[in-house]
A and B are shown apart, each in its own frame.
Chain A
């Protein structure tokens, strides 16, 4: 049976991610775990995350999840980062007065700001709700129309330095990077597990993906 490890470092609603995976692929065994051995043996790995980045990074380091992530990325097996699990792959975040992240990608996590506007209207922060995602032709977008709406909840956004690695963008007062892809790694800012049909399609695509662009 194919296996997918959802890395559990005590932050976030892992129930939703694992239920969504089970829903799209009853034949896949979903293992919610922090055990390095189980992550190593899984066919695919997901790094989720909700909450403040300082707490997330502290737990990632304390539990050795940083090493598990590095190993999974180096192994070539399909790897998916979600929300804070995406931000954690960048160099650093402005949140909590500045936090160093795992630096698997060049780029930074920035605050939307308190004076964000769009067409003269003030925008609320967090960016909460369904927004349009414009994407490239990476296999994880298969069957998902360009401009489909996904569900977001975040106050900080990713801006990647290597523009050729950006797989999708979204606009909320400013344009930011909502998906990044390199080799076997794919990471998204929105919550596919809460994005109804298009989100489930993306998770299904991840489970079908061979980890190659």
Chain B
């Protein structure tokens, strides 16, 4: 028996509300992140990720209250990402009850921030989020680059080298989103997932592009991811978390049922 592969539903939260909505047949207000998180906990989700897409300062205060509320009602690990730029941001979220924070563009801007954060709060709560896009042409050796600004801005940084550097600086986990796949529902980019998972000694969460349960299986088996993150397939009741887990178990993957 072994450590279970984790299934992590991800919620985009704006001004304290889940955006794009989440449909559960039996909860009245599916826009409340706390209600949604509770339901995923009951279904057996292994963790929850809140991605704060709020632009305003006031909205960010709302997020802190949302995290506080969730932490007093849902007892599985919670990661908060989006707009984490300073050690004060991290302290605020951890004090509110988050277990981990995910750092994205602030790490690209200043890699040393990751070292500072890991030294201060411990690697176990520092997740570095990487948005990678394939830049090699067919026939060339595979190469992926880091992009920022929702995949619009190339950075010239090699994704695998970047992941290794982030871990060396203290990242305790890598949240890898393959941009060319994201939202397309063609599955994770298995190549980059596997390349990074084999290159680092910390857990890697695969994200981006999940359209069906086989994609979760591929992410774990071929991509060698330690956890799989998905949004829309769970939010719109295409599949429930228990269905996903049963399917993965049938394919020989260790899960928590």
Contact = CB atoms under 8 A, between A and B. Distances in A.
Interface stretch (B71-79, B107-115, B232-240): B71-79
Contacts of A200: 75
A205 to B, nearest CB: 15
Interface in A48-95: 50-52
A118 B2 contact: yes
A195 B4 contact: no
A52 B227 CA distance: 24
B16 interface: no
A16 interface: yes
Interface in A108-122: 114, 118-119
B12 interface: no
A126 B1 contact: no
Nearest to A83: B124
A43 B172 CA distance: 37
Given A50-B122, A124-B201, A194-B99, A130 B4 contact: yes
Nearest to A19: B72
B124 A129 contact: no
Given A171-B1, A194-B99, A20 B75 contact: yes
Interface in A173-213: 193-196, 199-200
A140 B202 CA distance: 32
A187 B62 CA distance: 36
Most buried by A among B46, B72, B77: B77
Interface residues of B, number: 32
B226 to A, nearest CB: 6
A21 to B, nearest CB: 11
Contact of B203 (A16, A129, A131, A132): A129
Contacts of B41: 196
B173 interface: yes
A50 B94 CA distance: 12
A149 B202 contact: no
Contacts of B77: 151, 194
Contact of B202 (A13, A124, A193, A194): A124
B97 A23 contact: no
B38 to A, nearest CB: 11
Interface in B180-204: 201-203
Contact of B173 (A119, A128, A172): A128
B75 A13 contact: no
Interface residues on A, range: 35 or more
B95 interface: yes
A193 B202 CA distance: 23
Interface string B79-119: 00000000000000011110100000000000000000000
Contacts of A15: 71, 95-97
Contacts of A126: 123-124, 172, 202-203
B75 A129 contact: no
B215 interface: no
A137 interface: no
Nearest to A14: B95
Contacts of B4: 129-131, 149
9 contacts: A16-B75, A20-B75, A124-B201, A124-B202, A126-B172, A132-B1, A151-B46, A194-B75, A195-B76
Interface of A: 13, 15-16, 19-20, 22-23, 50-52, 114, 118-119, 123-132, 147, 149, 151, 153-154, 171-172, 193-196, 199-200
Interface of B: 1-6, 41, 46, 71-73, 75-77, 94-97, 99, 121-125, 172-173, 201-203, 226-227, 256
Given A51-B122, A132-B1, 9 more contacts: A23-B73, A50-B125, A126-B202, A128-B173, A129-B4, A147-B1, A153-B124, A171-B2, A194-B99
